[in-house]
């Protein structure tokens, strides 16, 4: 979706997002913050290369150990209120 984009901050909060395609954010190399706060995401099945990933206030049900292998450079992960 954002293939090759030069985004540094992507805020998609409060959009009622339920599912994100596996490679939707994969080729955004300069992404520092991905904010998916207050959506309806149930599973983490996507890849991203970001320093800060905000997934608080979603509907996360299951987080598998291998889900975190998809986040190559995440320094801060917010999973509050799920």
Question: pLDDT digits over 53-71, tens only?
Answer: 999 999 999 888 788 778 8
49/27 Cα distance (integer angstroms): 8
Residue with tokens 């999973």: 79
Regions of the chain short of the pLDDT cut 50: none
Q: What pLDDT does 29 receive? A: 84
pTM attached to this predicted model: 0.88
Q: What pLDDT does 73 receive? A: 86
Q: What is the dihedral of CA 62, 68, 74, 77, to 10 degrees?
A: 20
- Give buried/exposed letters for 44-77 (b at 16+ CB in 10 A, else e): bebbbbbeebbbbbbebeeeeeeeeebbeeeeee
């Amino acid at each position: 979706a954002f293939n090759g984009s030069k985004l540094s901050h992507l805020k998609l909060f409060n959009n009622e997002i339920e599912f994100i395609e596996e490679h939707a954010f994969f080729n955004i190399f300069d992404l520092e913050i991905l904010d998916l706060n207050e959506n309806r995401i149930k599973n983490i099945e996507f890849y991203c290369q970001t320093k800060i990933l905000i997934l608080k206030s979603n509907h996360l049900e299951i987080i598998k150990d291998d889900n975190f292998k998809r986040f190559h450079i995440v320094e801060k992960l917010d999973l509050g209120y799920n």
